[in-house]
């Protein structure tokens, strides 16, 4: 039969005359096995069975008895025999079958299943899609009419659209830090973009665990495709933070059109022609949104036999507002503002990309086993010239990227899982990207860490739990503050032009989603109550580990005068 693959190092000492040994390659291929080191032993892992036995304990067939235990043994034998009989009867004459055949196959299959229940079961995949600076009102399901977004709209129709969906910060890197850790990023000082300071100190603090760490340890293949923006030295690199694979860029912004002969340029906020696979720079040709989509589909396709988690972090529709040659003909003729044309071109490309990803999932049949989150990292950047202005429209919300008003923190928020979540549903209670990690833990059958601040959203989105997921949600971004409790919102926002704070203002969002009518004087007790709640929440935060820019962080030191730009190539 040749050398046997799989976790059976001492199988050569066992008799091989029985048909069981001819069945083992079929079994290992059918119920792909992963070793305790996480490496595929045969056929690509479907179940992450972590074998923590010595070589002596793995001898066949006693290792199955050792692992199963007495309570589940009878059930395991039954299911093992049921699974194996069709294959045995099709391959071997009945006269060749012995009692050892049936016993051995039952024990082997039960061992592979781990529980003796559904042997072909696989933990659900998890797909997190981040858009960058997407305007709340620019997609069709939110009333956007400038360009069609049929694929984003279809994703919303396939699942639950959360109309009070929030991110943890109105700004890029801290928003991602909160989502990936399931904790408010102000708990560990990641309050601003990590652009200024010592390289070894800039980025997601090394004592924080990410959703990729958690799911990797649960047997998932994990990948980040796209934008990282959580540190750029080796300890902060995605491959050091739980991601098995990384294809993308490390900083806050990147040019879209790639040319294989272009020179790389590195800055802590924005880079050019610096797309990495792992830690290796790539020479690419094409438009970045399309390239990232190709890579995402490749990752999903390569891991069909293993549960996976993909964090697909597009940089669209963030600046630079480049227009793909394949998109330009589809732009509305009545749009003449170059910035708006660039933004809408990126939005069309992003919608095309979402369509390609969801089409792959549907055609491969993986959609029924894939939980999808779609959000923007913060609101659209619609206030020129601040914070990478991109013309994003957030109406009817007030405010923009970088503000704790609704326009900065309330974002498009879609959760879809075919056959598991209701299609075409609207969910109105406040939810947060803090909830991604606890929800992922639930579907992956992992106990969430007690310090997580989010909740498992599934019982709420299914309608099984009627109460609101959160008593309140709170934010801090430099001098800006906000808290939402029910329909009440207390906010102290920054005016970037005037460089002043609004002071506490109170709004009833059920009647005033645009935050126009300040009720602080009329409902002074509610204002005081919410202010005390925010202060209690803030007492568990720490000071920022680094400064932001003067726009969002007035305590930042005045930067020195800018020098002429120099091309800096980042060393690998």
Give 479-528 as a DSSP string: TEEEEEETTEEEEE-EETTTTEE---EEEETTT-TT--S--TTTTHHHHH
pLDDT score at 475: 99
From 444, 463, 482, the end of a domain falls on 463
Identify the weakest region by mean pLDDT among 112-126, 193-207, 316-330, 535-549: 112-126
Inter-residue contact 393 to 411 (CB < 8 Å): no
**Residue 210 and residue 276 in one domain:** yes
191 and 109 both lie in a single domain: no
| pLDDT (mean) for 406-425 | 98
Is 249 domain-assigned? yes
Are 31 and 75 part of one and the same domain?
A: yes
Pairing relation of β-strands 488-492 and 505-508?
Answer: antiparallel
Query: What does the block give as tokens for 45?
Result: 């892992």
d(CA 572, CA 566): 19
For residue 337, the domain's CATH number is 3.40.720.10
Q: How confident is the model at residue 94 (pLDDT cuts 50, 70, 90)?
A: low
| C-alpha to C-alpha distance for 139 and 399, rounded to whole angstroms | 17
Of 418, 433, 463, the position where a domain reaches its end is 463
Average pLDDT score over residue span 420-436: 98
- For residues 47 and 97, the answer to whether their CB atoms sit within 8 Å is no
Residues 211 and 185 in one domain: yes
Question: Is 494 among the domain residues?
Answer: no
- The full 3-state SS of 309-350, as one line of letters, equals EEEEECCCCCCCCCCCCCCHHHCCCCCCCHHHHHHHHHHHHH
Give bridge partners of residue 226 from the DSSP assignment: 248, 313
| Token duo for residue 136 | 């709340």
pLDDT exceeds cutoff 80 at 92:
no
Confidence at 541, pLDDT banded by 50, 70, 90: very high
Whether residues 150 and 87 share a domain: the answer is: no
Does residue 289 fall inside a structural domain? yes
Task: Label residue 91 by pLDDT band (50, 70, 90).
Answer: low
Max CA distance (Å), the chain? 90
Question: For residue 22, what are the domain limits?
Answer: 11-113
96 and 224 in one domain? no
pLDDT of residue 559: 78
What is the helix (H) or strand (E) element at residue 34, kind and residue range? strand 33-34
| pLDDT of residue 89 exceeding 70 | no
Asked if residues 505 and 518 have their Cβ atoms less than 8 Å apart, the reply is yes
- What are 146-160's pLDDT values in tens digits? 999 999 999 999 999
pLDDT (tens digit, 9 = 90+) per residue, 30-63?
Answer: 444 333 333 333 333 333 333 333 333 333 333 3
Same domain, yes or no: 410 and 328: yes
Q: Give the CA count within 13 Å in the CB-facing half-sphere of 422.
A: 12
Give the end of a domain, one of 113, 139, 156: 113
Tokens of 137: 């009102």
Instruction: Decide if 378 is inside a domain.
Output: yes
| Domains identified in the chain, total number | 2
487-522 pLDDT, tens digit per residue, is 999 999 999 999 999 999 999 999 999 999 999 999
List the single range of 108-112, 318-322, 417-421, 529-533 with lowest mean pLDDT: 108-112
Q: What is the mean pLDDT of the chain?
A: 85
Say which range, 83-92, 408-417, 555-564, has the weakest mean pLDDT.
83-92
Q: What is the pLDDT of residue 376?
A: 98
Q: Are residues 69 and 147 in the same domain?
A: no
- Asked if 277 and 202 sit in the same domain, the reply is yes
Tokens (6 digits) for 110: 């039960």
Asked if 103 and 138 sit in the same domain, the reply is no
Residue 536 within any structural domain of the chain: no
| Nearest C-alpha neighbor of 201 from the set 433, 545, 494, 484 | 545
Q: Is residue 166 part of a domain?
A: yes
- Among 80, 38, 482, CA closest to 218: 38
What pLDDT does 122 receive?
A: 85
Residues 27 and 143 grouped into a single domain: no
Q: Please write the tens of the pLDDT for every residue from 212-248.
A: 999 999 999 999 999 999 999 999 999 999 999 999 9
Q: Which two tokens stand for residue 180?
A: 């990936």
* 547 inside domain: no
What pTM did the predictor assign?
0.80
Residue 121 CB neighbour total at 10 angstroms: 13
Is position 413 within any domain? yes
Q: Round to whole Å and give the CA distance between 41 and 63.
A: 17
Same domain, 441 and 349: yes
């Amino acid at each position: 039969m040749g050398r046997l693959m799989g976790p059976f190092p001492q199988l050569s000492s066992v008799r091989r005359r029985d048909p069981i040994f001819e069945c083992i390659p079929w079994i290992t291929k059918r119920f792909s096995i992963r070793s305790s080191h996480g490496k595929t032993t045969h056929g690509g892992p479907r179940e992450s069975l972590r074998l923590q036995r010595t070589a002596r304990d793995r001898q066949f067939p006693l290792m199955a008895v050792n692992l199963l235990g007495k309570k589940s043994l009878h059930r395991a034998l039954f299911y093992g025999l049921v699974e194996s009989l069709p294959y045995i009867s099709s391959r071997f004459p009945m006269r060749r079958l012995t009692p050892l055949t049936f016993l051995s196959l039952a024990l082997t299959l039960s061992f592979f299943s781990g529980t003796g229940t559904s042997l072909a079961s696989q933990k659900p995949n998890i797909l997190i899609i981040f858009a960058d600076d997407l305007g709340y009102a620019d997609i069709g399901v939110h009333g956007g009419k400038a360009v069609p977004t049929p694929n984003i709209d279809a994703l919303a129709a396939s699942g639950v659209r959360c109309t009070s969906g929030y991110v943890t910060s109105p700004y890029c890197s801290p928003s991602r830090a909160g989502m990936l850790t399931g904790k408010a990023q102000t708990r560990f000082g990641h309050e601003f973009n990590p652009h200024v300071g010592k390289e070894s100190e800039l980025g997601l603090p090394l004592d924080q665990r990410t959703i990729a760490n958690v799911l990797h340890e649960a047997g998932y293949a994990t990948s980040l495709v796209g934008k990282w923006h959580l540190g750029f030295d080796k300890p902060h690199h995605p491959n050091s933070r739980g991601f098995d694979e990384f294809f993308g860029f490390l900083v806050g912004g990147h040019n879209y059109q790639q040319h294989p002969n272009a020179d790389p340029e590195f800055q802590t906020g924005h880079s050019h022609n610096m797309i990495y696979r792992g830690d290796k720079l790539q020479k690419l040709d094409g438009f970045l949104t399309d390239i990232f989509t190709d890579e995402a589909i490749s990752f999903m396709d390569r891991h069909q036999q293993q549960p996976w988690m993909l964090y697909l972090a597009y940089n669209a529709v963030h600046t630079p507002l480049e227009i793909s040659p394949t998109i330009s003909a589809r732009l509305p003729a009545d749009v003449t503002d170059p910035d708006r044309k660039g933004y809408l071109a990126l939005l069309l490309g992003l919608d095309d990309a979402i369509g390609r990803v969801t089409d792959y999932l549907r055609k491969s049949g993986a959609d029924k086993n894939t939980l999808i989150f779609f959000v923007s990292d913060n609101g659209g950047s619609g206030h020129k010239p601040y914070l990478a202005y991109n013309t994003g429209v957030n109406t009817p919300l007030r405010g923009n990227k970088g503000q704790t008003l609704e326009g900065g923190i309330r974002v498009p928020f879609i959760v879809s899982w075919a056959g598991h979540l209701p299609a075409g549903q609207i969910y109105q209670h406040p939810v947060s990207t803090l909830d991604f990690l606890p929800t992922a833990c639930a579907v992956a059958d992992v106990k969430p860490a007690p310090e997580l601040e989010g909740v498992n959203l599934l019982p709420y989105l299914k309608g099984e739990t009627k109460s609101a997921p959160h008593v309140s949600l709170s934010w801090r971004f430099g001098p800006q503050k906000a808290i939402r409790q029910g329909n009440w919102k207390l906010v102290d926002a920054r005016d970037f032009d005037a460089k002043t704070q609004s002071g506490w203002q109170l709004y009833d969002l059920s009647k005033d989603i645009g935050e126009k009518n300040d009720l602080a004087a009329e409902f002074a007790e509610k204002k005081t109550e919410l202010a005390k709640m925010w202060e209690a929440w803030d007492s568990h935060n720490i000071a920022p580990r680094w400064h932001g820019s003067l726009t969002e962080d007035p305590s930042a030191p005045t930067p020195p005068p800018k020098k002429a730009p120099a091309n800096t190539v980042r060393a690998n």
